[in-house]
């Protein structure tokens, strides 16, 4: 089964029909039949942005449930150290904690396809193994 990593931007775009990327993201998500995965850091960011609309947080929870999005946590001390090491590797891009956890998830899930709007970051970032991610929206 195909697995896609999901970043914050596409979640927020899917939730907001007025977002410039909404149609492009919705088309990709509607056609996808595999497993979607993300991290708790991404959900935290998405919940923050969803909070701009009083119904946003509930809408986010409903989408997470309906899409059967698998959410992984990378907050144990060794994982935090690995995330910070990745963040320190890209001071000029920059990489935030959610981005770093997605790279850790790519390694753990052995999936390198990512649904993201962050072309600059995720076309530059590499896993600790040196592997690039494939940008789903570019295909």
The whole-model pTM stands at: 0.95
- The torsion defined by the Cα of 98, 102, 108 and 111, in degrees rounded to 10, comes to 170
- Domains contained in the chain, number: 1
Residue-number span of the structural domain to which 63 is assigned: 3-138
Contact assessment for residue 71 and residue 44, using Cβ atoms and an 8 Å cutoff: no
Alpha-helical segments (H) within 16-96: 22-31, 40-50, 56-67, 77-89
CATH code for the domain of 66: 3.40.50.1010
139 has pLDDT over 90: no
**How confident is the model at residue 58, as a pLDDT?**
96
Question: Cβ–Cβ contacts within 10 Å for residue 86, how many?
Answer: 21
Between 2 and 51, the higher pLDDT residue: 2
Residues in the chain: 139
56 has pLDDT over 90: no
């Amino acid at each position: 089964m195909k697995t896609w990593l999901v970043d914050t931007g596409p979640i927020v775009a899917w939730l907001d029909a007025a977002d410039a990327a909404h149609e492009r993201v919705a088309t990709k998500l509607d056609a996808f039949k595999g497993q979607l995965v993300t991290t708790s850091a991404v959900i935290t960011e998405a919940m923050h942005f969803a909070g701009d609309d009083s119904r946003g947080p509930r809408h986010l929870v409903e989408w997470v449930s309906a899409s059967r999005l698998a959410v992984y946590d990378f907050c144990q001390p060794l994982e935090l150290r690995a995330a910070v090491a990745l963040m320190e590797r890209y001071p000029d891009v920059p990489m935030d904690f959610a981005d770093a956890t997605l790279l850790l998830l790519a390694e753990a899930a052995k999936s390198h396809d990512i649904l993201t709007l962050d072309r600059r970051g995720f076309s530059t970032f590499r896993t600790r193994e040196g592997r690039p991610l494939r940008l789903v929206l570019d295909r």
